[in-house]
């Protein structure tokens, strides 16, 4: 499954290597499609690919991170 999300980082979380941690923690492929960091705020367009349960667990983990806001772009299930 491939899931596309926007991640919003606040002042504190912006310096945290969140996406690196995510890939360490879960067996998913992370693919950054866009990123901008400005004035204590970050915006990242991220594609997460892997087994459905893995992808879902990784999103739940992201949502639980302090100062990270997760916005799904749309569910886009591509099995594989």
The residues of the shown chain that bind other proteins, judged by CB under 8 A, are 4, 6, 8, 10, 33-34, 38-39, 41, 43, 45, 69, 71-77
Output the smallest distance, CB 42 to other proteins, in A.
9
Output the smallest distance, CB 40 to other proteins, in A.
8
The residue among 45 and 51 lying less far from other proteins, judged by its C-beta, is 45
Distances (CA, A) of 70 to 61, 79, 80: 10, 22, 24
Output the smallest distance, CB 46 to other proteins, in A.
8
């Amino acid at each position: 499954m491939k899931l596309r999300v926007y991640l919003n980082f606040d002042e504190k979380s912006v310096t945290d290597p969140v996406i690196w941690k995510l890939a360490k923690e879960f067996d998913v492929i992370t693919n950054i499609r866009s990123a901008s960091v400005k004035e204590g705020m970050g915006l990242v367009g991220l594609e997460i690919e892997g087994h459905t349960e893995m992808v879902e667990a990784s999103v739940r983990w992201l949502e639980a991170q302090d100062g990270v806001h997760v916005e799904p772009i749309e569910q886009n299930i591509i099995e594989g």
